Amino acid sequence: MPIKAAPYKHQIDAFNFVCGKFGLIPASGMASSGAALLMEMGTGKTITSIAVAGALYQTGKIHRILVVAPLSILGVWREEFEKFADFDYSLAVLEGSAAKKIDTMRHMRGSPLQVAVINYESAWRLEKELSAWNPDMIIADEGHKIKTHNIAASKAMHRLGARAKYRLLLTGTVITNKAIDVFSQYKFLNPAIFGQSFYVFRNRYFDMVGYGNHTPVLKKSMEQDLMKRLHSVAFRATKAECLDLPETTDIVRYVELEPVILKKYKELVKQSYTELSAGEVTATNILTRLLRLSQLTGGFIGSDDGGKIEQVSDAKLKALEDILESSIQEGHKLVVIARFIPEIHAICRMMEKKNISYACIYGATKDRQEQVNRFQCDPDCMVFVGQIATAGLGITLTAASTMVFYSLDYSMSNFEQTKARIHRVGQKNSCTYIYLIAKGTVDSKILTALRNKADLAKMLIDDYRKGANPFAPEGGESCEQ
């Protein structure tokens, strides 16, 4: 595996499985130009894919890769390639206007391995240009995004996939409640498995029942055949089965704030520094000003008179939405932790809009144990939303093994106590912690302090005394800027 890390056994097995399908190494079973990595969140789909890409490149099989992923995780591919790829490559995340994306692609030629990363929406809008770029391999990350066979994004992926030499589909599982979703994902992957016609597939494997015969139910007699075909080109890895995983895994997911909000944020950084310089530099003063910046990275800003709080950004909310979708697709529960009440309300509104059953605890919650019991015992209650200050103590949330920190407070004890809600007696799986960090903001400083068990206020005061702006991001601006 051409990666700069020691892979786990299941990642080596997944790599060998795909290399076998692609004809790089001898393998049993059918050869295929498409393979699926059905690996749950936290088991290493991305690192395995990078290793496969490197192996194909090093053997001269590919020169250009197109990675199609949800918008909020485009940056993850850049970071993971930087961290793990042990081969020559050049990567561009296609962003900005359509003209800018096309221009970026136009310059992606020649050696080393060219990697273009784009979101699903843009992929179908720029299908013609992507086809002309002619990628040798396409990776569909969070492949359940193309589970509906007749939407524009799926159709574009089917057509792009048909032109590529190799295709890789990454998702926790292709089946949750609806086995019929398999068709579209496998049409992209390898149409030989379930055919080109949705209706022929549906009639073969499903009975149409219910009012108006609109509900597909998998025929008992065809279950075995469907699963055999599905797994013929798929490698499955669940957290429960991956006994070599560490007890806990941290994932930092960087979120890009909207340009107008980032500009507002930078103005607030300068203003906070000016205010701090005009008075006494104490822990209270510095943390009070940091509070406003933290609120803004979560998408909210208060009026200067301390009145109405307004939502100005949904960047973190969109990132959370993608994580949530993946988690529910895998059939796993999720704990979401946030610091501020407006964030909690915004997260809960999103759940309601998506008809996702959730439990919630924050300062005003009266029936706390009832909320915990519902999350722990009700299979339909998929998400627990908690406020750090009130949901971090004395409760057990082991029905989930993944926790998302939407935002963080500055307390080390709150941080450790909150993490322990899922990582405690009764937990059968390794735990994954995902941190949503607004890129280029104080979020990263706060997380660094908490992970290093450092005193945040002291760290910021030290920055100030060294002549740096304590509110600037790590490696960021000096106080003059």
Please write down the long-range contacts of 297-305, taking CB distance under 8 Å and 24 or more positions apart. 297/257, 297/265, 297/407, 297/438, 297/441, 297/442, 297/443, 298/338, 298/339, 298/340, 298/342, 298/343, 298/406, 298/407, 299/261, 299/343, 299/346, 300/340, 300/342, 300/343, 301/264
Amino acid 137: pLDDT: 98
Which amino acid, one-letter code, is at 37?
L
What pTM was computed for the model?
A: 0.86
How far is it, in rounded angstroms, from Cα 163 to Cα 138?
10
Q: Is 397 helix (H, G, I), strand (E, B) or coil?
A: coil
pLDDT higher than threshold 90 for residue 195: yes
Each as own residue / partner, the long-range contacts of residues 462-465 (CB below 8 Å, 24 or more positions apart, any chain) are 464/276, 464/281, 464/286, 465/281
β-sheet with 113-119: strand ranges across: 89-93, 113-119, 64-69, 137-140, 166-171, 34-39, 234-237
Band the pLDDT of 476: cuts 50, 70, 90: very low
Percentage of residues in the chain having pLDDT higher than 90:
71
Q: Among 353, 367, 264, 250, which residue's Cα sits nearest to residue 312?
A: 264
Mean pLDDT, to the nearest integer, of 176-199?
91
Categorize the per-residue pLDDT at 286 as very low, low, confident or very high, splitting at 50, 70 and 90. Answer: very high
- Report the chain's mean pLDDT, rounded to a whole number: 91
Q: How far, in Å, CA of 382 to CA of 400, rounded? A: 9
Helices H / strands E in the chain, number of each = 20, 17
Summarised one tens digit per residue, pLDDT across range 208-265 is 988 877 888 899 999 999 999 999 999 999 888 887 888 888 999 999 999 999 999 9
Report residue 445 as tokens. Answer: 């400083």
Beta carbons of 333 and 383 less than 8 angstroms apart? yes
Q: Which residues are registered as beta bridge partners of 65?
A: 115, 137
Cα–chain center distance at 221: 37
Digit-coded pLDDT (tens) for 294-349 = 999 999 987 665 668 899 999 999 999 999 999 998 889 999 999 999 999 999 99
Which has more confidence, 179 or 176? Answer: 179
The SS3 assignment for 311 reads: strand
State which H helix or E strand residue 38 sits in.
Answer: strand 34-39
The answer for residues whose C-beta is within 8 angstroms of residue 5's C-beta and 6 or more apart is: 47, 83, 84
Asked if the model's pLDDT at residue 480 lies above 60, the reply is: no
pLDDT value of residue 6: 93
Let me know: does 147 contact 185? Beta carbons within 8 Å. yes
Scanning the structure block, which residue is given the tokens 């924050």?
A: 362
**56 vs 20, 22, 88, 167, 315, CA distance in Å?**
12, 9, 12, 12, 35
Contact criterion met (CB below 8 Å) for 286 and 316: no
Confidence class of residue 409 from pLDDT cuts 50, 70 and 90?
very high
pLDDT of residue 306: 61
pLDDT at 19 over 50: yes
Which residues fall within 8 angstroms of residue 301, CB to CB, at 6 or more apart? 264, 292, 295, 309, 310, 312
Q: Which two tokens stand for residue 200?
A: 């022929």
Q: Which amino acid appears at position 167 of this protein? A: R
Residue, of 436 and 109, whose pLDDT is higher:
436
The conformation of residue 22, written as its DSSP 8-state character, comes to T
| Strand, coil or helix: 151 | coil
**pLDDT for 302:** 78
Please, what is the end-to-end C-alpha distance for the chain in angstroms? 44
pLDDT tens-digit map of 138-157? 999 999 899 989 899 999 99
Whether 479 shows a pLDDT value over 50: the answer reads: no
* Residues 378-382, mean pLDDT to the nearest whole number: 96
How many CA atoms are closer than 13 Å to the CA of 131, on its beta-carbon side?
A: 13
CA 349 to chain centre: 20
pLDDT tens track for 54-89: 999 999 999 999 999 998 889 999 999 999 999 999
Task: Return the higher-pLDDT residue of 394 and 121.
Answer: 121
- Residue 5 · residue 84 · CB < 8 Å: yes
Helix runs in 107-196, H state only: 120-125, 127-133, 152-163, 182-189, 191-194
- As beta bridge partners, residue 432 has 249, 402
Q: Are 333 and 279 in contact (CB under 8 A)?
A: no
Residue 279 binned pLDDT confidence (cut-offs 50, 70, 90): confident
Q: Could you give the angle at the alpha carbon of 461 between the alpha carbons of 457 and 467, nearest 5°?
A: 150
The values of phi and psi at residue 273, to 5°, are -70, -40
Please give the Cα distance from 142 to 319 (Å, whole number): 13
Burial class (CB in 10 A: 0-12, 13-18, 19+), 309: middle
Residue 179 has pLDDT above 90, yes or no: no
> What per-residue confidence (pLDDT) applies to 475?
53
Which domains are delineated in the chain? 9-237 (3.40.50.10810), 246-481 (3.40.50.300)
